[in-house]
Amino acid sequence: MKKFLIAGLGNIGDKYANTRHNIGFKILDALAEKEGLKFETQKLGDLTTYKFKGRTFILLKPSTYMNLSGKAVKYWLTKEKVPLENLLVVTDDLNLPFGNLRLKTKGSDGGHNGLKDIQNVLQTSKYNRFRFGISDEFSKGRQVDYVLGEWTDEESEKLPERLEKSIELIKSFGTAGVSNTMNTFNGK
């Protein structure tokens, strides 16, 4: 059975729950809720397993805080013997318009501290990342407040449809492969 590690990035704690930076957690929570799965607190994160079309998706929400995500990702990749090409890191992206989805097989951290840590710990920038656009609608010097801010009413209204599309992307990643998934979902 093919195994995949889907690591949704975010920060633990209620004060971060509905922030833009926690979209990785939010997407995995939406998938778990839709499929009737429950997360369990384990070493370095909350995990649940989702089986779909002969694939096993291990959903991980690291408890290490965003900037130390690499430790949890590496631990679960190793423990579950998931090959690097079957890792998908789900994160927010300031450089994409709100709700835009982009899957990439490698790249820079784009100034994202969670991706920077994963890259440092894994010693490679060649891992799959699914970026969810949160836009860059903030004034100079307000990036941290914006990223750690809550969704606007307008964004909250559009979020359920975007979460559904994100769940489809994750399933496609495991069943149709990364290239087909990029062609189907990037920019959508």
pLDDT tens digits, the chain, 188 residues: what are they? 799 999 999 999 999 999 999 999 999 999 999 999 999 999 999 999 999 999 999 999 999 989 999 999 999 999 999 999 999 999 999 999 999 999 999 999 988 999 999 999 999 999 999 999 999 888 888 888 899 999 999 999 999 999 999 999 999 999 999 999 999 999 88
Give the residue among 80, 66, 156 at the shortest CA–CA distance from 115: 66
- What is residue 49's three-state secondary structure? strand
Q: What is the pLDDT of residue 176?
A: 97
Q: Quick check: is 112 catalytic?
A: no
Radius of gyration of the chain (CA): 15
Query: Would you say the pTM of this structure is higher than 0.75?
Result: yes
Cα–Cα distance, 56 to 49 (Å, whole number): 7
In whole angstroms, how far apart are CA 47 and each of 43, 63, 144?
9, 10, 27
The size of the chain, in residues, is 188
CA dihedral 102, 105, 110, 113 (to 10 degrees): 100
8 Å CB contact between 90 and 130 = yes
The active-site residue, picked from 4, 12, 21, 30, is: 21
Q: Amino acid identity, residue 89?
A: V
Which residues, in sequence order, are CB contacts of 180 under 8 Å at separation 6+? 172
**Per-residue model confidence (pLDDT) at position 136:** 86
Q: Can you tell me which residue has the tokens 């894994």?
A: 122
